[in-house]
A and B are shown apart, each in its own frame.
Chain A
Amino acid sequence: DTGVSQNPRHKITKRGQNVTFRCDPISEHNRLYWYRQTLGQGPEFLTYFQNEAQLEKSRLLSDRFSAERPKGSFSTLEIQRTEQGDSAMYLCASSLRTLDEQYFGPGTRLTVT
């Protein structure tokens, strides 16, 4: 399968714990995006990488959130000191060029108890 993959698919954690999610984009895509989707809503942009450079971060991305994309390949999204409000689906997408179709992964569903 050459699509976007995300791991884990589901994560249940206790409030205050740290969590890390991984996204593997389509191999030739140099653009990678993270979105957050809460129940019944459309995805909201979090951050964007072009190769290994993080070019934009949403105001939604508080200091507890950090994202990396070492060597311009896979990306990780870490949430420190999780809060119940962090419970959501975290989606990763990749594209070849600006304004191209973005290909989405299956998402990681985070539940903070």
Chain B
Amino acid sequence: AQTVTQSQPEMSVQEAETVTLSCTYDTSENNYYLFWYKQPPSRQMILVIRQEAYKQQNATENRFSVNFQKAAKSFSLKISDSQLGDTAMYFCSLDSSYKLIFGSGTRLLVRP
């Protein structure tokens, strides 16, 4: 069975500082993708960043970067220079075929 675990239900960070959200996963597949999705309050889910498992280089999208440790099955998200608009639920997810398996989410609050 494939699972995704997010062990931090809530986190907060001061505006302009850096925060790291943790995620571990389990899969027996060799070809899979990992994603971080953001769900702002009362708004729809949007993709933050994706990582192909076959790529060793960590993905980066502007202020967002990941630390992908394939052997450890770890996929953390680092948000640099946090902004008020980053306040949201963040979901780590795994896709090995056709469906996304989501973690339970981390609620991030950016404090002014």
Contacts and interface: CB of A to CB of B under 8 A. Distances in A.
Is B a genuine binding partner of A?
yes
B104 A41 contact: yes
Nearest to A49: B98
A43 B102 contact: yes
Contact of A45 (B33, B101, B105): B101
Dominant SS at the B interface? strand
B contact residues, range: 20 to 34
B91 interface: yes
A56 B46 CA distance: 24
Interface string B70-108: 000000000000000000000101010111111111000
B15 to A, nearest CB: 25
25 contacts: A33-B100, A40-B104, A40-B105, A41-B104, A42-B91, A42-B93, A42-B102, A42-B103, A42-B105, A43-B91, A43-B102, A44-B102, A45-B99, A45-B100, A45-B101, A48-B99, A55-B98, A93-B100, A98-B98, A102-B95, A102-B100, A103-B47, A104-B44, A104-B45, A105-B44
